[in-house]
């Protein structure tokens, strides 16, 4: 073939094909209103004919934005984040951004590496989950000056802009609900709080509320389970198989609660008759499970959408400085919690 054959057409090829200069082609993309309609049409046709697609990399080199936002999450394949990621992605898309995503499996050192990787790609902005990050991570963000938003957690003394809810409050509310129902024998199933401030905060919120009522949770009623139905079912099978067993179980999130629910069902323990189960999160489907899951609602969709808008605004200069948005939590009393059986007829 001639000179071009394997490689993609560039703006020069388009210019030649349209019989105009490179600058004119460039302008037809960036400031079309400056062109004579006839010229614009010529260029459009050439673009069409050649199958030209603009090269963002070259634009970035000019100080243009890359049009990408990096999202770093612990895991993707987890009901917890799926809704959030979707709404975040949709929000970005609306603003013309593309999402680069990386996961670190709850390993904060890997998180740091992922951040660097995304920065090499010159993302215009970044989103992380939670506010617990390695010092290196925080320093990197500050040093590089990449607009960043922390999702899912709220703190008024956060080092980053954040959009989320108070997880300690979520834990507290969940505990409160069980206490209000009259439960005193309460078990806890939570994920490993290391490197996971959401879990940590929820657990401590719950524990502090229980402590206020002078309730102690025996060591063997405090279980750890990863964010998986299988894991939580396995863990709680042993807890529920023993005697005495708690009259209620407070779970670190709805997935764990689902596992506990199935464990109870497997053991023939009636929910909520003999055992109340409380979740946190209100994941998709939590209201449809039978019995439907009582839980603390954290509005993932709205959080994701707002986070997208915030980071986009920060990038485009529509806003500056750090902001902290706290979403109110609400308690959803459904069918998995009830008055403990011993008190049923008081």
Return the residue of 228, 319, 322, 341 that touches a second copy, per CB under 8 A: 228
Return the residue of 24, 28, 39, 103 that touches a second copy, per CB under 8 A: 103
**Contact partner, 343, from a second copy, DNA, none, Cβ < 5-8 Å per class:** none
**Contact partner, 236, from a second copy, DNA, none, Cβ < 5-8 Å per class:** none
Cis peptide upstream of residue 291 (ω within 30 degrees of 0): yes
Q: Is 214 in the site for DNA (CB under 7 A)?
A: no
Return the residue of 41, 48, 61, 213 that touches DNA, per CB under 7 A: 61
Q: Give the nearest distance from C-beta 102 to a second copy in angstroms.
A: 7
| DSSP letter, residue 292 | P
As given in the structure block, the two tokens for residue 188 are 């806890």
How far is the C-alpha of 198 from the C-alpha of 152, rounded, in Å?
Answer: 8
Query: In terms of Cα–Cα distance, which of 108, 114, 143, 90 is closest to 312?
Result: 90
Q: Is 144 in the site for a second copy (CB under 8 A)?
A: yes
Alpha helices in the chain (DSSP H): 11-18, 22-30, 37-50, 56-60, 79-94, 108-120, 135-144, 167-181, 197-212, 229-241, 254-267, 300-315
**Contact partner, 10, from DNA, a second copy, none, Cβ < 5-8 Å per class:** DNA
Q: Which is nearer to a second copy, 113 or 184 (CB)?
A: 113
Instruction: Return all residues near 88 (Cβ < 8 A) that are at least 6 apart.
Output: 71, 99, 127, 151, 304, 305, 307, 308
Backbone CA torsion sign across 306, 309, 315, 320:
negative
Q: Is 6 in the site for DNA (CB under 7 A)?
A: no
Q: Which is nearer to a second copy, 99 or 203 (CB)?
A: 99
Looking at residues 7 to 26 of the shown chain, list those that interact with DNA (rule: CB under 7 A).
7, 10-12, 19-26
Q: Give the nearest distance from C-beta 176 to a second copy in angstroms.
A: 28
Do 67 and 60 touch, CB atoms closer than 8 A? Answer: no
**Contact partner, 22, from DNA, a second copy, none, Cβ < 5-8 Å per class:** DNA
Q: Is 68 in the site for DNA (CB under 7 A)?
A: no
Do 149 and 311 touch, CB atoms closer than 8 A? Answer: yes
Contact mark string toward a second copy, 159..198, x via CB under 8 A: ----------------------------------------
* Entry field: residues in the chain: 346
Pick the stretch among 31-39, 134-142, 171-179, 297-305 that binds DNA (CB under 7 A): 31-39
Q: Is 61 in the site for a second copy (CB under 8 A)?
A: yes
Q: Which is nearer to DNA, 41 or 318 (CB)?
A: 41
Question: What are residue 153's DSSP bridge partners?
Answer: 165
Q: Is 66 in the site for a second copy (CB under 8 A)?
A: yes
Do 329 and 173 touch, CB atoms closer than 8 A? Answer: yes
Do 335 and 294 touch, CB atoms closer than 8 A? Answer: yes
User: Which residues would be at the binding site for a second copy (CB under 8 A)?
Assistant: 6, 8, 51, 53-58, 60-61, 66-68, 75-79, 82-83, 85-87, 89-90, 93, 98-103, 116-122, 140, 143-145, 228-230, 233, 258-259, 262, 265-266, 284-285, 287-290
């Amino acid at each position: 073939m001639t000179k071009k054959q394997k490689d993609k057409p560039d703006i020069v090829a388009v210019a030649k094909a349209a019989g105009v200069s490179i600058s004119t082609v460039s302008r037809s993309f960036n400031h079309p209103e400056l062109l004579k309609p006839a010229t614009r049409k010529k260029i459009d046709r050439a673009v069409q004919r050649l199958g030209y697609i603009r090269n963002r990399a070259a634009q970035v080199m000019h100080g243009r934005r890359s049009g990408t936002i990096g999202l770093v999450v612990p895991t993707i394949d987890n009901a917890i984040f799926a809704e959030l990621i979707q709404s975040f992605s949709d929000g970005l898309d609306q603003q013309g951004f593309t999402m680069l995503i990386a996961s670190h499996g709850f390993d904060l050192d890997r998180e740091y590496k992922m951040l660097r990787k995304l920065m090499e790609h010159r993302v215009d902005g970044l989103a992380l989950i939670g506010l617990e990050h390695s010092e290196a991570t925080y320093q990197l963000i500050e040093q590089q000056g990449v607009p960043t938003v922390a999702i899912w957690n709220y703190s008024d003394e956060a080092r980053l802009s954040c959009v989320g809810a108070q997880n300690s409050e979520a834990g507290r509310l969940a505990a409160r609900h069980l206490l209000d129902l009259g439960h005193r024998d309460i078990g806890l199933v939570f994920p490993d709080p290391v490197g996971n401030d959401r879990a940590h905060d929820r657990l401590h919120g719950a524990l502090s509320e229980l402590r206020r009522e002078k309730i102690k949770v025996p060591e063997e009623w405090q279980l750890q389970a990863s964010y998986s139905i299988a894991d939580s079912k396995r863990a709680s099978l042993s807890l529920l198989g023993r005697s005495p067993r708690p009259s209620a179980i407070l779970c670190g999130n709805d997935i764990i609660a689902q596992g506990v629910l199935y464990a109870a069902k497997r053991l023939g323990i009636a929910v909520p008759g003999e055992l109340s189960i409380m979740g946190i999160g209100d994941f998709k489907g939590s209201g449809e499970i039978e019995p439907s899951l009582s839980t603390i609602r954290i509005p993932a969709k709205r959080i994701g959408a707002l986070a997208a808008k915030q980071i986009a605004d920060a990038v485009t200069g529509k806003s500056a400085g750090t902001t902290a948005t706290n979403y109110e939590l609400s308690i959803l009393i459904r069918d998995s919690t009830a008055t403990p059986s011993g008190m049923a007829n008081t």
